[in-house]
Structure 1
Amino acid sequence: MKISINRLKDFILLEQSPEEIAALLTGSGLEVEGIELFESIKGGLEGVVIGEVLTCERHPNADKLSITTVDIGGEVVPIVCGAPNVAKGQKVVVAKEGCTLYPVSGESFEIKKAKIRGEVSQGMICAEDEIGIGESHAGIMVLDTDLANGTPAAEYFKVVKDHVLEIGLTPNRADAASHLGVARDLKALLKREVCIPSVGDFKVDNTNRTIPVTIENSNDCPRYAGLTISNVKVGPSPEWLQNYLKALDLDPINNIVDITNFILHDLGQPLHAFDADKISGGKIIVKKLPKDSLFVTLDEKERKLSGEELMICDEIGGLCIAGIFGGKGSGVSDNTTSIFLESAYFSPDVIRKGSQFHGLKTDASFRFERGTDPNMPIYALKRAAMLIKEIAGGEITSEVVDIYPNPIGDLDIDIEYKNIHRLIGKDLSQAEIKEILGNLDIKVVSESEQGFKVSVKPYRVDVTREADVIEEILRIHGFDNVALSENLKSDYLAEHPAKDFNKLQYRLSELLSSLGYYEIITNSLTKPLYAEKSGFMDPVHNVEIYNKLSEDLGVMRQSLLFSGLEVLAHNINRRQKDLKLFEFGTVYSKQPEGYQEERRLAMFLTGDKAAESWREPSKPVAFPDLYATVELILEKVGIEQVDVEVIHSAPFDYALQMKLGTKELGKLGLVQEELCKLAEVRQEVLYADLNWDLLMKKAKGLKKYAEISKFPEVRRDLSLVLDRSVTFDQIKKVALKAGGKLLQRIGVFDVYQGDKIDAGKKAYALSFYLQDSEQTLTDKVIDKTMGRLIQSFENEVGAFIRK
């Protein structure tokens, strides 16, 4: 939201610099994100002055150039000029040496001392396009003025300079969405009065053109006001109004529309002007039109109505989507001579729904959907009508129509002093509290020893509770004025020390990056087609987007698989086929109990494991590469044991399912070929999908470095013959249980299946690494440990130990 300092000064006395005003507002909760300098003529005509041509002679070396001497105020300078109309005695606009000009078209340029065809030139006599005030380049400007030579041209052209504040308005501060709203805060901060223009001189000229109004739904439109102004002349706005709008980054349109925009940004009350001659039947009806009715808006787009938006209609059909956007057929044009001026208060809910449905965000809807002041419509209407009469002429030809069946009153809130002191953390005097509230137009209506009751005007939509009133006191008193206590304490109800999930994610990102993986961040919106064709996602659980940008971005993703496959496809299509990627992302689903979100960690492997080199041929990535990465992640976060099971289900050709107890931690395996093709990937992809929320919950924190043992490690090997159905995970579980704390790790250095052992059998060659951190292992201890391992393998997995 942009706020003009010049216009603020019309509401309240300001002696502070723009930077000081910005600091005040930011400290009170209206965060100023930037300050821009506005100049009605770019550059402000700095270094451009009024001059007088003293002499003018033809250039000896150029037929189309003239050599002049120009008095620029206490100094006479030679200037070579190419304009055909330059002559002695003229008052002209001179750009002095060293100044920068900003022409209407093209780049800015600096005026430098130069030699033109052998003659010195120390300045430039300007045409209007060269200083940015018009399009003409037919010749230099010749002024009719008595201003002294050397007078800054900015004075002659009345250049307006303004500082514009860019305020990042929070959704709760709808009351501050105007110059008046910001001035109210400055009133409380500076303890100065706010002055608003009087409408006491407003009068109705006659009642020759009264347009009656009917409201069919007073819940959606609690208040509607309007009047008719006839014999107006539509044309350009005066410069002061155009400069006001330009400073706020708005384009002037015509005097009628510009005045409605002026009132909106001045008072926060949106207005709308209809061409009265285009209101069929001479009657306004506020109602809803049937679903799928067609309506053409001012941007010439035909829109299909939802049936829920509020419409301003005549006897034939819609004229305007209430509070959002006008209709093409009823707008003010250059031929308009009579207008019906609307000023209303609409329910924020109906405006928000209509704006969202049509994807229309306008200055009017921005304010209506947050809540405007129900007491402002009549003042704003009269103020606008008076301005229209002043600028566009005409006469007010109807009484003010004001339909307000159920007035919205002030809100009474009880406040206790003890709660003020408790929530602010500082004892404020009762006098200061009441002064702050009074300056915020929050009236104290009754008092007691314990507290008081206040009356809050309805334009403060964010002040509805005792805590809200206390917040108002605090923000005006100043957050910086509440000192920290000398004695601080904290209570800890959670486990200590708490896990730092951000740090954990960062460390795992570092780990994956060190293994050659690249992190990706993909869009949470995806194609509905993926859920329909995936074989593992149900389209019923899709979270659909109502105002989707395209069908390809129609739903929230249920899985990270396809967004990752799209990244693979993008890279493979650009000849980058060897890829290792990972993503921390959120997936979404619609369940009977409501919408659900879940964070996942996905990893993708495709192509060759390493680039081809003279040392070794390239090898394609394999499942163990991905499994080893997952094991490293689990080890890093202190998860030592998971249950695994081989599965053959979508989206995998084959995969391992990992569980922690009864909860699934994730799956990893080879993605089905048809699913890869669905995302236009035409090579094998290994994919791991881990439940990041569960992983973080079960993580024991980052694994700490331990001191290297002083005592040697011992290796012993065993060869086991087992049924082919026995997995290595089962063997590992048995070994860790039987080996106790001495068993540090297990390795597999050979697997055999063939005719040298019985059918249905396989042989594992395993290495066991034993170590004691407190003493050197003896043969007796080693043999005892290996004996327990052998016995456990024989009893629990039916192993035969090969000697």
Structure 2
Amino acid sequence: MIGKKVIIRNLPGKTKFITLDEVERSLSSRDLMICNDEEGMCIAGVFGGIKSGVTSSTKNIFLESAHFNPVSIRKTSKRHGLQTDASFRFERGTDPNITIWALKRAAMLMKEIAGGKITSDIIDVYPEKIENSRTEVSYRNIDRLIGKQIEKQTIRKILGLLDIIILKEENDILYLEIPAYRVDVKIEADVIEEILRIYGYNNVEISSHVNSTLTYFDKPDKENAVNIVSDLLSANGFAEIMCNSLNPASWYEENSDLDPSQLVILANPLSSDLNAMRQSLIFGGLNSVAWNINRQSYDLKFYEFGNCYFRVRAQNSIPSVDDYNERTSLDLFITGKTGRESWNHKSNPTDFFNIKSATEMVLARLGIKTSSLLKGESSKKYFAESITYMNNDRLVAETGRISKSYMAMFDIGQDVFYSHLDWDSIMKLIRKNIISYRELPKYPSVRRDLAILLDKGINFGLIKEIAFRTEKNVLREVGLFDVYESKSLGVNKKSYAVSFILRDDLRTMTDKNIDKVMNNLIRAFENELGAKIR
């Protein structure tokens, strides 16, 4: 042992260390190491080093008995992918007060079995003694959680068998001191669980008394709504996916679309790739798309219902439930072609309007009229082109084509169209929906078409909005059935062929009524859009 010293410390990050299995590993600056005067000898509580290992030629052995922080050992074990006997025990917690006894026991076994000779005294370094934990337990809570009234004398006897000391008993409350080796017993519920374990689960009889309560479900029924939409999407060729709710935190860092300060970081992650709770379903969905494309499945339609997690208040040193927020989302993904190739069917590439129609189909099935929602464009960078649906400044849905930067993150080489529906906002929106019935119209509908010359920057949604604002009584539908662009129309001009369905539920419409409505619409388009009727 170089320097005849044992030093417990952290080595600099990326330090190379060869373990007993002859594998060279790159250490983290957070890995606790047992070192000599110059270099590391063991990864503390996990694995020994090749230079400090015992071989057939070993004559002198230095024994160290220690207690390590379980969290630190677990993180180191997961970081290096090492599942050893040592890490299995240390990461679950050990008794800090038996280190000397364990050291003596090991030394005596070597002396008795291998003929060894003990050549030094024991050196004990214990700067801060780990005290036994203390807690309070009430007889009332013991009876309530176990579901049976156990005699107090029996409870005291069980606690004694568990080496749990009763410091005092006052007002039906027991003040207890729990030995340090019971690492999984800290709070009142833990003590009650131990009492029940010793008392015997089979000794708690099943009650012959049955309680029942009236249940009231808030409207709308969320589970029913999820099932309705799931059936709808599945019937339209979508496949449901369920992605991991754990993501790499690196996906959210320096990402302006999501707030890294609201990220929920795991205290003991399995790996650095699964160290944060997701804030969006987009990453899992794109990962699923990439996985399928890499296996030659190019035409995909996915949907996922899932929860997203946010830390809304990060200033508290001790987090509480109120510091976190959980929101439900429905996300859709479409890529590839609209259908399989066939001699009698032309298969076209999916486009923006495929995902838009799927989004509006879901909203319509839930009784939401998209005409009542304010439409705009998303500022999120994961969209190359998009449309948003808002209700009173609250996002209901956003849909569009995924940007190249996001597709490059997952090495996707074909267009992906994505829609995000805020399920919690939708549930609030349809809470007051009432299903109503009415008889079929007695009077016929009338269709009139207009060819409207407009600037290229004007979209059909604006035309539809102006039409319904201008005529609220007899206008039933507005549709776009042709778009024409040509240099002959003028610079930055296009022509929309728009259909209008008119119907009066009280009488048959006359030509005079129809002409009046159409003239009002034409004036509105000319005044508000600068349109010309061709």
Q: TM-score range by the shorter chain?
A: 0.7 to 0.9
Question: What are the Cα deviations for residues 466-486 of structure 1, in whole angstroms up to 9, with x where unaligned?
Answer: 343233334444567265664
Residue 386 of structure 2: aligned partner: 655
Shift of 1:403: 3.4
Give the Cα–Cα distance (whole angstroms) in 1 for the partners of residues 356 and 417 of structure 2. Answer: 10
Gaps of 5+ in 1: 1-278
* Counterpart amino acid of residue 728 in structure 1: F
Residue 689 of structure 1: aligned partner: 419
Q: Which moved more, 1:561-570 or 1:663-672?
A: 561-570
Task: Tell me: CA distance 1:655–1:783, structure 2 relative to 1, closer, same or farther (3 Å).
Answer: farther
Shift of 1:632: 0.5
Shift of 1:559: 6.8
Shift of 1:576: 5.0
* Counterpart amino acid of residue 372 in structure 1: T
Task: Tell me: CA distance 1:436–1:567, structure 2 relative to 1, closer, same or farther (3 Å).
Answer: closer
Shift of 1:442: 1.7
Q: Percent identity?
A: 36
Q: What pairs up with 1:736-755 in 2 under 5 angstroms?
A: 746-750=478-482
Give the Cα–Cα distance (whole angstroms) in 1 for the partners of residues 124 and 249 of structure 2. Answer: 50
Residue 186 of structure 2: aligned partner: 464
Give the Cα–Cα distance (whole angstroms) in 1 for the partners of residues 35 and 141 of structure 2. Answer: 50
TM-score, reference length from structure 2: 0.74
Task: Tell me: CA distance 1:378–1:738, structure 2 relative to 1, closer, same or farther (3 Å).
Answer: same
Residue 369 of structure 1: aligned partner: 91
Task: Tell me: CA distance 1:518–1:407, structure 2 relative to 1, closer, same or farther (3 Å).
Answer: closer
Q: Which moved more, 1:615-624 or 1:476-485?
A: 476-485
1:627 counterpart SS class: helix
Gaps of 5+ in 2: 316-323
Residue 517 of structure 1: aligned partner: 238
2:109 counterpart SS class: helix
Is 1:453 paired with 2:175?
yes
Is 1:626 paired with 2:355?
yes
Shift of 1:690: 0.8
Q: Which moved more, 1:674-683 or 1:433-442?
A: 674-683
Question: What are the Cα deviations for residues 505-530 of structure 1, in whole angstroms up to 9, with x where unaligned?
Answer: 44433322222233445677589799
Is 1:643 paired with 2:370?
no
Question: What are the Cα deviations for residues 383-416 of structure 1, in whole angstroms up to 9, with x where unaligned?
Answer: 3334334433334444444333443333333333
Is 1:394 paired with 2:113?
no
1:311 counterpart SS class: strand
Residue 718 of structure 1: aligned partner: 448
* Counterpart amino acid of residue 175 in structure 2: K
Is 1:766 paired with 2:499?
yes
Give the Cα–Cα distance (whole angstroms) in 2 for the partners of residues 557 and 632 of structure 1. Answer: 27
Give the Cα–Cα distance (whole angstroms) in 2 for the partners of residues 711 and 351 of structure 1. Answer: 74
Alignment counterpart, residue 460 of structure 2, candidates 728, 743, 757? 728
Task: Tell me: CA distance 1:387–1:530, structure 2 relative to 1, closer, same or farther (3 Å).
Answer: closer
Is 1:335 paired with 2:40?
no
* Counterpart amino acid of residue 417 in structure 2: Y
Q: What pairs up with 1:275-314 in 2 under 5 angstroms?
A: 279-289=1-11, 293-314=15-36
Give the Cα–Cα distance (whole angstroms) in 2 for the partners of residues 669 and 521 of structure 1. Answer: 22
Question: What are the Cα deviations for residues 229-273 of structure 1, in whole angstroms up to 9, with x where unaligned?
Answer: xxxxxxxxxxxxxxxxxxxxxxxxxxxxxxxxxxxxxxxxxxxxx
Shift of 1:335: 1.5
Partners of 1:751 and 1:765 within 8 A in 2 = no
Give the Cα–Cα distance (whole angstroms) in 2 for the partners of residues 643 and 655 of structure 1. Answer: 14
Task: Tell me: CA distance 1:586–1:314, structure 2 relative to 1, closer, same or farther (3 Å).
Answer: same
Partners of 1:636 and 1:703 within 8 A in 2 = no
Shift of 1:457: 0.7
Q: What pairs up with 1:314-463 in 2 under 5 angstroms?
A: 314-463=36-185
Give the Cα–Cα distance (whole angstroms) in 2 for the partners of residues 291 and 756 of structure 1. Answer: 68
Indicate the RMSD between aligned Cα atoms, in angstroms: 5.2
* Counterpart amino acid of residue 447 in structure 2: D
Give the Cα–Cα distance (whole angstroms) in 1 for the partners of residues 387 and 127 of structure 2. Answer: 68
1:345 counterpart SS class: coil
Give the Cα–Cα distance (whole angstroms) in 2 for the partners of residues 340 and 689 of structure 1. Answer: 63
Give the Cα–Cα distance (whole angstroms) in 2 for the partners of residues 729 and 511 of structure 1. Answer: 25
Give the Cα–Cα distance (whole angstroms) in 1 for the partners of residues 381 and 166 of structure 2. Answer: 67
Partners of 2:383 and 2:400 within 8 A in 1 = yes
Task: Tell me: CA distance 1:783–1:705, structure 2 relative to 1, closer, same or farther (3 Å).
Answer: farther
1:375 counterpart SS class: helix
Q: Which has the higher contact order (CA 8 A, sep 6+)?
A: 1
* Counterpart amino acid of residue 730 in structure 1: L
* Counterpart amino acid of residue 337 in structure 1: K
Shift of 1:332: 1.2
Task: Tell me: CA distance 1:374–1:635, structure 2 relative to 1, closer, same or farther (3 Å).
Answer: same
Residue 67 of structure 1: aligned partner: none
Q: What pairs up with 1:159-198 in 2 under 5 angstroms?
A: none
Partners of 1:639 and 1:698 within 8 A in 2 = no
Is 1:580 paired with 2:301?
yes
Q: What pairs up with 1:661-672 in 2 under 5 angstroms?
A: 661-671=392-402
Shift of 1:584: 4.8
Give the Cα–Cα distance (whole angstroms) in 2 for the partners of residues 556 and 447 of structure 1. Answer: 44
Question: What are the Cα deviations for residues 364-396 of structure 1, in whole angstroms up to 9, with x where unaligned?
Answer: 223323321122223333333343344333344
Question: What count of residue pairs does the alignment treat as equivalent?
Answer: 515
Shift of 1:635: 1.4
Higher Cα Rg, which structure: 1
Partners of 1:719 and 1:763 within 8 A in 2 = no
Give the Cα–Cα distance (whole angstroms) in 1 for the partners of residues 348 and 284 of structure 2. Answer: 26
1:339 counterpart SS class: coil
Shift of 1:741: 9.4
Partners of 2:133 and 2:179 within 8 A in 1 = yes
1:402 counterpart SS class: coil
Partners of 1:602 and 1:687 within 8 A in 2 = no
Partners of 1:623 and 1:686 within 8 A in 2 = no
Shift of 1:687: 0.8
Task: Tell me: CA distance 1:412–1:654, structure 2 relative to 1, closer, same or farther (3 Å).
Answer: closer
Give the Cα–Cα distance (whole angstroms) in 2 for the partners of residues 452 and 530 of structure 1. Answer: 48
Residue 195 of structure 2: aligned partner: 473
Task: Tell me: CA distance 1:573–1:359, structure 2 relative to 1, closer, same or farther (3 Å).
Answer: closer
Question: What are the Cα deviations for residues 647-690 of structure 1, in whole angstroms up to 9, with x where unaligned?
Answer: 7985555432333332344443345568767765555x251231
